[in-house]
Amino acid sequence: MKFVFHAADFTKPFGVVCSILTSGPWSHGSFITNSGTHYDTTASRGFLGVRVPQPNRRCVVYDVPEFVLTDEDLSPFIGTKYDLLGLLFYPWGVQDGSKLFCFESQVVAAKLAGLKMDIGKPSPLKMIQILEKMTTGVPMKESDLMNGGYDEL
């Protein structure tokens, strides 16, 4: 499976808010199953589902093929509502256990694939620290990711 951390788009207020709340340069997280389906959850869509690509968006991809996540494994979570309150109250660790924001969905995917992600509140920086012990992140544009390429930026 692959974990994708999307750079904050500072031209969009929501991206700025996400970056500030999570204390890092990432405003969004998504993941790709071993079959190649790219999933995320967004406030605008309101639920976990197949990602709508943003070709020029910069991201860093962590490929960990030894952890297997199938679309079937994920199926019980498809349609899970977006956890807007969990994001807005992120610094205080408030979460709605029945909803997911993007980084929470990455943790769920990791656990389904058998990767230990016992990090407390979902944090892109903590997740990257764990992933960096297994593999190196590759910076790219989402268009390269969509085409299966790994050309570094």
Q: What is the pLDDT of residues 117-126, one digit of tens each?
A: 777 777 888 8
Burial of 130 (0-12, 13-18, 19+ CB in 10 A): middle
pLDDT at position 15: 85
What would the mean pLDDT of 52-73 be, rounded to a whole number? 91
**Concatenated DSSP letters for 21-40?**
HTTSSEEEEEEE-TT--EEE
For the chain, the distance separating the N- and C-terminal CA atoms, rounded to the nearest angstrom, is 21
Q: What percent of the chain has pLDDT over 70?
A: 95
Residue-averaged pLDDT of the chain: 87
